Amino acid sequence: MTASAEKFTRQTLLDVQPLTPSLFTLRTTRDSGFRFRAGQFARLGVTKADGSTVWRAYSMVSSPYDEFLEFFSIVVPGGEFTSELSRLEVGDTLMVERQATGYLTLDRFVDGRDLWLLSTGTGVAPFLSILQDFEVWEKFERIILVYSAREGRELAYQELIAGLAQRDYLAEHAHKLQFIPTVTREQVPGVLSGRITTLIENGELERAAGVALTPEHSRVMICGNPQMIDDTRKLLKLRDMNLSLSRRPGQVAVENYW
């Protein structure tokens, strides 16, 4: 099979940044023909020592308009894929499938005033891509990014989030964004403490945001730990907020890829 006929391209690793012993970011070149919508993911492939290839899905952190691709990963102890991925160095090759996919995109919602982005761990990745795309700033009056991690040091991309307000194309819309970090295993000054589900149940999340979660005005995207996604969906369903489907528009969109 020729390279042009293959379902993937070979990209070069441009940068690797370890954030904690178990979290790192990586940036690669981007094939000129690779297209994606903010919020989508691509399958990445790494070659093992025995010559076999392992594939996993990763959301793009980078915007659809960047000339590079960026991903956010956790090292799973003994994990077949992340163990190989974490050993890659600048100049190494990473395979990227040609076709991006995923439905955690803004076209899931036909209306809505407030957009809630609820994430845990590396699940913040698609939301960072969405926040770098002008479409979201035009579509909603309020954008609430909720980012939960176990410890304060695991709250990545703080500079990117803080720097959105300084981008020329977002300057007049920057007031729409509210960033609410939360941690679950320690107390950090100025950061909410507790799981997202707990903070929804006790009302603390809405108090921090200064806006209510309602089916009339709220549209909610959820990405992260599968258990968190399930539990949050159940809580929102109690508020008459349902999964948005093509045949039945709703208030909730989720991404499950692990």
Report how far apart, in Å, the C-alpha atoms of 161 and of each of 3, 5, 27, 174, 179 are: 37, 38, 18, 11, 8
Q: Kindly tell me if the per-residue pLDDT of 177 is higher than 80.
A: yes
Q: Please answer whether residues 8 and 45 qualify as being in contact, where contact means their C-beta atoms are separated by less than 8 angstroms.
A: yes
The pLDDT value given to residue 3 = 43
The pLDDT value given to residue 77 = 82
Q: Kindly tell me if the per-residue pLDDT of 256 is higher than 90.
A: no
Report how far apart, in Å, the C-alpha atoms of 19 and of each of 22, 131, 142, 152, 224 are: 8, 21, 30, 12, 18
Residue 60, phi-psi category: left (phi > 0), alpha (psi -120 to 50), beta (remainder): beta
Query: Which of the following CATH numbers is that of domain 106-255: 3.40.630.30, 3.30.499.10, 3.40.50.10490, 3.40.50.80?
Result: 3.40.50.80
Q: Give residue 76's pLDDT band: very low, low, confident or very high (50, 70, 90).
A: confident
| pTM for this predicted structure | 0.94
Residue with tokens 């915007």: 63
Q: Give residue 257's pLDDT band: very low, low, confident or very high (50, 70, 90).
A: low
Residue with tokens 């809405």: 206
Q: Kindly tell me if the per-residue pLDDT of 1 is higher than 50.
A: no
Q: What is the pLDDT of residues 183-196, one digit of tens each?
A: 999 999 989 999 99
Domain ranges of the chain: 3-97, 106-255
The pLDDT value given to residue 2 = 43
Query: Which of the following CATH numbers is that of domain 3-97: 3.40.50.510, 2.40.30.10, 3.40.30.10, 3.40.50.300?
Result: 2.40.30.10
Using CB atoms within 10 Å of the CB of residue 223, give its burial: 0 to 12 exposed, 13 to 18 middle, 19+ buried: buried
Mean pLDDT lowest among 47-51, 68-72, 176-180, 229-233 = 47-51
Instruction: Provide mean pLDDT across the span 131-135.
Output: 95
